[in-house]
Amino acid sequence: MKNLVVWLLCLAFAMPGLSQISSSASKGYKQLQKQDYTDSYGSFKKALIEDESEILANYGMALLYSNNTFDVEGEKTDYFRAMRYMRIAYSGISKLGDDKLPEYNKISNDFKGTMLQDYGLIENKLVEYIKANATLDNAERFVLMFPDSKFFQEMLKIRNQLEFAKVKNTDKVPEYNFFIERFPNAVEIPEAIAMRDLAAYKKLIATYKLDSVYDYLNRYPNSKLLNRIIDIRDSLEAVKATAANTFQSYEYFLQHFPLASQSKDIVAKYILKYYEKAQVQNIIKDYQDFLNRYISCEYAEGAMLIRDNLWVEEMKQTNTVDAYNKFLTYTPNSALKKEVRNLRDKKAYEDAIQTNTIKAFEDFLYNYPAAAEYQKALTIRDSLVLEQCRNLISVARFNQFMLQYPTLPLNPKTQEVMAEIAFKEAEAANTKEALEGFLAQYPESKHKKQAEDKLKKIK
């Protein structure tokens, strides 16, 4: 056990940077104090070969490389290397226990405090150097090498600015996207997005293809140039629809791009195609559908006339009063309304003749007073009424009946029927006064001889 302790103590003293300061490092530090940079560099280099974590050697190298006049063996002032050496040295001194610090304090009073002060000086020199030599490489090296530096955010900002300047110089979409993805928290991101969108827009304009437009809309839905892109899309879609020049192509455009500035022109083309489609089918329904949607368009009058002609031809086949009346009700302004009215009136007249009743003709006369067949119907109605009147047994009742039909007195047959009724009435009375009254009132009646014969018998 005693031998093990002795061995461990020997091992501890043999480990550079932990229990004792390397002689080469100590020698190099004394040479450095004398500003003998060449020899001190050699000594520190030797110490680091023996132990790359040797605290004093790393510290010495940091001081050498941060010296503005350092120039040994082709090595010159390099603040990055100085800072790297200093970080190794300070990390090492920070890990030493308090019992090990007195050894270093022999070199310099409050060695650790002095090192910390030099750490700050070297770090400041490096930052000032980067600011004075603002290159992307310098800024990137600092950010990658010293992420825990208090200047990290400042250097990160410089790195991002330089990176963005490089990207702007290329003005290419992939470069902008790479920057946006790589540095999502950079203050330049909004500008990078705007520049990326503009670069993509320029590329789109150069090709002016519909696929490119949709690709842009999918990739950059929040672009400030979105309205321009939508205008281009609408324009290209309108060109596409017009090139196809079909009912379906125009319909697709209007369904998907109703707010496009080209809609008015496309609507006009669509209406024409709609009309042409109806003409191809040439059925009432298609023309009616067209008119339901575009009653005010320039083709409406023509569509209406064709529809009405088809409708009239169809009605002629069915030939019913109801069909004609339906047409006149639904199309009061049709150019064919007069023709249809005549057809309706003719059919109604034919129906009345077929029924051949007073009521049928009464209905016709009431419903169609302007019919060309009106007078014919009136004559037939009156004839039917007179035939019915022949069964009356008194002139008084006949006159009363006539009050219902004011046109009957104008009928040539009226007097004949009246005379017949008067004769029947006189014959039934069979008196001299009745027969003489009949002959006096109806001297031209066909019943004159009969009345005279009866009168002779009475006398």
Domain that holds residue 96: 1-133
Q: What is the pLDDT of residue 18?
A: 44
Sign, CA dihedral 428-430-435-436, equals negative
Domain-located, residue 143: no
Average pLDDT over residues 243-262: 94
- Judged by average pLDDT, the poorest of 70-79, 282-291, 388-397 is 388-397
Look at residue 236 and tell me whether its pLDDT is greater than 50.
Answer: yes
Look at residue 8 and tell me whether its pLDDT is greater than 60.
Answer: no
Q: What is the pLDDT of residue 178?
A: 92
Cβ proximity of 114 and 108 under 8 Å: yes
HSE on the CB side for 333, CA within 13 Å? Answer: 4
pLDDT in tens, 312-343: 999 999 999 999 999 999 898 899 999 999 99
Look at residue 89 and tell me whether its pLDDT is greater than 60.
Answer: yes
When computed from its CA atoms, the radius of gyration of the chain, rounded to whole angstroms, is 60
pLDDT in tens, 384-412: 887 887 777 678 777 777 777 777 776 77
Look at residue 451 and tell me whether its pLDDT is greater than 90.
Answer: no
Q: What is the pLDDT of residue 401?
A: 74
Calpha distance 342→364 (Å, rounded): 13
pLDDT in tens, 118-148: 999 999 999 999 999 888 899 889 999 999 9
Look at residue 432 and tell me whether its pLDDT is greater than 60.
Answer: yes
Write down which residue in 93, 113, 133 finishes a domain: 133
Domain-located, residue 101: yes
Q: What is the pLDDT of residue 74?
A: 92
Residue 104 maps to which CATH number?
A: 1.25.40
DSSP state, residue 57: H
Q: Total structural domains in the chain?
A: 2
Calpha distance 442→448 (Å, rounded): 8
Write down which residue in 99, 115, 133 finishes a domain: 133
Domain-located, residue 414: yes
Q: What is the pLDDT of residue 11?
A: 35
The dihedral region occupied by 109, where left means phi > 0, alpha psi between -120 and 50, and beta the remainder, is beta
Q: How far is CA 279 from CA 275, 282, 288, in A?
A: 6, 5, 12
Compare 422 and 131 and report the one with higher pLDDT. 131
Domain-located, residue 277: no
Compare 404 and 310 and report the one with higher pLDDT. 310
Q: What are phi and psi of 149, to 5 degrees?
A: -70, 145
Domain-located, residue 204: no
Look at residue 290 and tell me whether its pLDDT is greater than 60.
Answer: yes
Write down which residue in 133, 156, 185 finishes a domain: 133
Domain-located, residue 327: no
Domain-located, residue 308: no
pLDDT in tens, 342-380: 999 999 999 999 999 989 988 999 999 999 999 999 889
Q: What is the pLDDT of residue 459?
A: 65
pLDDT in tens, 147-196: 999 999 999 999 999 999 999 999 999 999 999 999 899 999 999 999 99
**pTM for the full model?**
0.59
Q: What are phi and psi of 76, to 5 degrees?
A: -130, 180
Domain-located, residue 149: no
